[in-house]
Amino acid sequence: MCSIPPCPPMPPLKMVLPDTHSPTKSDSQSPLYTCSDVCEWAVEHSSLWEVCIKYNLCHKKEPYRYNFINFDSILQVGPTCGLAALSMLVKGEVTAEEILDIAKLEGFSNNGEMFSCINMAKLADKVISLVELDNVKCTIRYGGLLSKETIDKMLEGAVLLVPYDADCNHSPCLKNGHTAHWALICGIIITEDAGEFYDSYPENIYVISRHGKSRFLAAWNIQDLAKSNRNLWEFSPKRGVDGLKYILPEGGIGGKEGLRNQFLMFEGL
């Protein structure tokens, strides 16, 4: 769905194994990396450690609270960002190409575009059923991305699929929906104790994401993502003349059946 070119690869990080550590088979699957004393709290998850180094998150002390579930990267082909993100969610057991076939059959998409959260939820239910994830519940949330309820759910292990406007580096921006993109939100970090009402101090809260335009995790402030999600008002005029036929919901992407101020929550993964 997003036509922005992929980000250049992240420069390699200097990773040094501790002198006393003897690599084992399990280490090759999930290595324990260190870099002096930077982000020691995250070294058990190398991908989380890398993204916190890159985005300068909690270098010297453990965050107040956090949760993270790792999903392997799946790059999109064409405007299939939502389908790639959904394939990541089911660990590639149903490929993005197979999900596209289902979406076409159901009349949700022609090229991989998904401009309706309602249709994305229906598609997700079908994919989850195929891989027999019987305990996983998918719900559409209308607003409330930056809310105590959503944040608490994520701290308990909920994962989100969130549509937003993607900037040139694929971070959230405000372009009226013209660069609409999908991200899999698979982690949350609260850097400081801000009291009971998390949403009163959004500058302390970051989400960890994967999306189909990069092999690397990204960290974004949750308020930036929420603002971008609320700003998905209209289909890009440039897409309207690119020669492809897109399926749009009644009322457009800014309507009740579209994307604006909506996202999907998955619990039970």
DSSP state string for 93-142: SS-HHHHHHHHHHHTS-SSS----HHHHHHHHHHHHHHTT-TT-EEEEEE
38: tokens are 């930077």
Query: Quick check: 176 and 153 in contact, CB under 8 A?
Result: no
**pLDDT, average across residues 43-69:** 92
Assess whether pLDDT exceeds 90 at residue 260: yes
For the chain, domain boundaries: 68-267
**pLDDT, average across residues 51-80:** 94
Nearest residue to 121 (alpha-carbon basis) of 259, 252, 251, 247: 259
Tally of CB atoms within 10 A around 253: 25
Give pLDDT, residue 36.
Answer: 56
Longest dimension (CA), the chain: 62
pLDDT band at 27; cut points 50, 70, 90 = very low
Q: Which of 18-32, 137-151, 185-199, 225-239 has the lowest mean pLDDT?
A: 18-32
b/e code 168-193 from CB counts within 10 Å (16+ = b): eebbbbbbbbbbbbbbbbbbbbbbee
222: tokens are 């949750």
Q: Which of 39, 52, 58, 81 is catalytic?
A: 81
Model confidence, pTM: 0.85
Handedness of CA 146, 266, 174, 224 (dihedral sign): positive
DSSP state of 34: B
pLDDT band at 35; cut points 50, 70, 90 = low
Assess whether pLDDT exceeds 50 at residue 11: no
Question: What is each CA distance from 252 to 224, 236, 256, 260, in whole angstroms?
Answer: 23, 11, 8, 10
Q: Which of 46-50, 187-191, 252-256 has the lowest mean pLDDT?
A: 46-50
Catalytic residue at 81? yes
Question: What is each CA distance from 15 to 35, 50, 79, 130, in whole angstroms?
Answer: 6, 9, 35, 39
Assess whether pLDDT exceeds 80 at residue 23: no
Assess whether pLDDT exceeds 70 at residue 119: yes
Mean model confidence pLDDT for the chain: 87
DSSP state of 185: E
Per-residue pLDDT tens digits for 198-219: 778 899 999 999 999 999 999 9
Give pLDDT, residue 240.
Answer: 67
**pLDDT, average across residues 67-94:** 96
Give pLDDT, residue 241.
Answer: 72
Tell me which amino acid residue 197 is. Answer: F
**The CATH number of domain 68-267 is 1.10.20:** no
Give pLDDT, residue 44.
Answer: 86
